[in-house]
């Protein structure tokens, strides 16, 4: 676990803690802004329908507005902290289909990753054929290897920075890292 200087640990066991926090704060910010816009619209519609200013309605509107502005501020601050944590840890978001077949060949020598074992090369080739992502259970069947052997090879590829594992129910989704530098 890595402490990045603000409250709490930011890395979860699978390394997606800051990203999850960023998504949470982003959704919270959007919802609070939605409530602000909705309550403002409702206030003005009700004021227009009554034809005069209702002080009870006005104070209720101000309370809702104040609370949601506070939530929006906290959410924005949390999102910024999470984004900074992602930047410090070097984490990134990976999109499927961002991997070209020549990319891995170029980076094997650039990053000193020319020492891939036979199974590791087969895994990378299978991931390239499946547009950069596949389920671990699919790789077991397509490569004809045991779960344990594949898991060890994937751990080695993770340590070399070539793949990322994301938990998907009872299996893992294996994603070829698209952030390997290109020429």
- pLDDT tens, position by position, 7-33: 433 334 445 567 778 888 889 989 999
3-state secondary structure string, 49-78?
A: HHCCCCHHHHHHHHHHHHHHHHHHHHHHHH
Identify the residue with better confidence: 99 or 6. 99
Identify any residues that bridge with 165 across adjacent strands, giving them in sequence order: 174
59 pLDDT more than 70: yes
Q: Where are the domains of the chain?
A: 17-89, 101-176
pTM: 0.42
Please report the pLDDT score of residue 109 as a whole number. 45
Q: 101-176: what CATH class?
A: mainly alpha
**Residue for token digits 């895994």?**
123
d(CA 108, CA 114): 5
Question: Which residues fall within 8 angstroms of residue 153, CB to CB, at 6 or more apart?
Answer: 117, 119, 120, 123, 145
Please report the pLDDT score of residue 148 as a whole number. 92
Tens digits of per-residue pLDDT, 30-58?
A: 999 999 999 888 888 888 887 777 788 88
């Amino acid at each position: 676990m890595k402490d990045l200087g603000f409250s709490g640990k930011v890395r979860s066991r699978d390394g997606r803690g800051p990203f999850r926090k960023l998504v949470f704060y982003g959704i919270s910010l959007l919802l609070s802004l939605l409530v602000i816009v909705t309550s403002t619209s409702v206030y003005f519609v009700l004021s227009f329908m009554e034809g005069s200013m209702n002080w009870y309605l006005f104070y209720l509107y101000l309370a809702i507005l104040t609370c949601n502005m506070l939530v929006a501020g906290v959410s924005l601050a949390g999102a910024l902290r999470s984004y900074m944590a992602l930047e410090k840890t070097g984490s990134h978001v990976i999109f499927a289909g961002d991997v070209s077949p020549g990319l891995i060949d170029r980076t094997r020598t650039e990053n000193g990753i020319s020492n891939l074992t036979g199974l590791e090369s087969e895994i990378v080739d299978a991931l390239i054929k499946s547009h950069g992502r596949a389920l671990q259970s699919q790789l077991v069947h397509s490569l004809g290897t045991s779960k344990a052997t594949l898991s060890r090879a994937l751990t080695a590829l993770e340590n070399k920075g070539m793949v990322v594992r994301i938990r998907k129910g009872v299996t893992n989704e294996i994603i070829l890292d698209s952030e390997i530098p290109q020429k």
